[in-house]
């Protein structure tokens, strides 16, 4: 199960080019999205100072990232395959070695559209380092994992929707 879950999570990540980004500032949440490059350790996003999430990332240094299967490719919209990451955020300094490497990776991955924004001075390159992840493959198939998508632990529910068997009560009744 471990290798299969890890491999599935890695393949799911590798098939994505954009992420959903959740940030907050002064108690006000913001949801957005951004194209990303992943270097095997972290996500990199390149965002404009005009966007609210850029200000949030600069101030809070934390974010949640969601990768989610497309609706059209999902058999059940209540159980879409997805990975949620909790990330630490740092700014990659402009014109440094890592900045140049990631800019080249964005250019390879996104082509001409990226060439238009690469030189813009109001854009910031952020490194989002996953600290932990939750990978959901469907109902009853949720796994807590490290940020590198290793060491999956099956999450088992205890609420009314969890599948538990109480020998004293007929199946289908809930404990109170």
Higher pLDDT, 171 or 150: 150
In the chain, domain spans: 2-154
pLDDT of residue 173: 45
pLDDT of residue 170: 43
Q: Which of 30, 22, 93, 25 is nearest to 59 (CA)?
A: 25
Alpha helices in the chain (DSSP H): 2-14, 52-60, 97-110, 112-117
pLDDT of residue 101: 97
110: exposed, middle or buried (C-beta count within 10 Å: 0-12, 13-18, 19+)?
Answer: middle
Please give the Cα distance from 4 to 90 (Å, whole number). Answer: 32
- Topology at the third CATH level for domain 2-154: Pnp Oxidase; Chain A (2.30.110)
Confidence band of 156 (pLDDT split at 50, 70, 90): confident
Q: Is the pLDDT of residue 22 over 70?
A: yes
pLDDT of residue 157: 74
For residue range 26-78, list pLDDT tens digits in order: 889 999 999 999 999 999 999 999 999 999 999 999 999 999 999 989 888 99
How many beta carbons lie within 10 A of that of residue 23, not counting itself?
23
Q: What share of the chain is helix, strand, coil (3-state, %, to 5)?
A: 25, 40, 35
Please give the Cα distance from 15 to 12 (Å, whole number). Answer: 5
pLDDT of residue 2: 61
Give the percent of the chain with pLDDT over 70: 88
Q: Report if pTM > 0.95.
A: no
pLDDT of residue 3: 67
Phi then psi for residue 42, to 5 deg, are -150, 165
For residue range 99-153, list pLDDT tens digits in order: 999 999 999 999 999 999 999 999 999 999 999 999 999 888 999 999 999 999 9
Catalogue the E-assigned strands of 43-95.
43-48, 62-68, 82-92
How many beta carbons lie within 10 A of that of residue 45, not counting itself?
27
């Amino acid at each position: 199960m471990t290798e299969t879950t890890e491999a599935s999570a890695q393949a799911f990540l590798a098939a994505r080019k954009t992420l959903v980004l959740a940030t907050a500032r002064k108690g006000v949440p913001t949801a957005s999205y951004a194209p990303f490059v992943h270097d095997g350790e972290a996500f990199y996003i390149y965002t404009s100072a005009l966007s609210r999430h850029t200000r949030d990332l600069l101030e809070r240094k934390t974010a949640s990232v969601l990768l989610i299967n497309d609706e059209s490719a999902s058999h059940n919209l209540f159980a879409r395959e997805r990975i949620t990451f909790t990330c630490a955020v740092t700014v990659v300094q402009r014109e440094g070695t890592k900045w140049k490497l990631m800019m080249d990776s964005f250019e390879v991955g996104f082509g001409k559209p990226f060439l238009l924004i690469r030189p813009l001075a109001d854009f910031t390159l952020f490194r989002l380092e996953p600290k932990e992840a939750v990978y959901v493959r469907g109902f009853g198939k949720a796994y807590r994992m490290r940020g590198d998508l290793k060491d999956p632990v099956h999450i088992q529910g205890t609420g009314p929707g969890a599948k538990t068997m109480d020998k004293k009560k007929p199946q289908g009744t809930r404990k109170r």
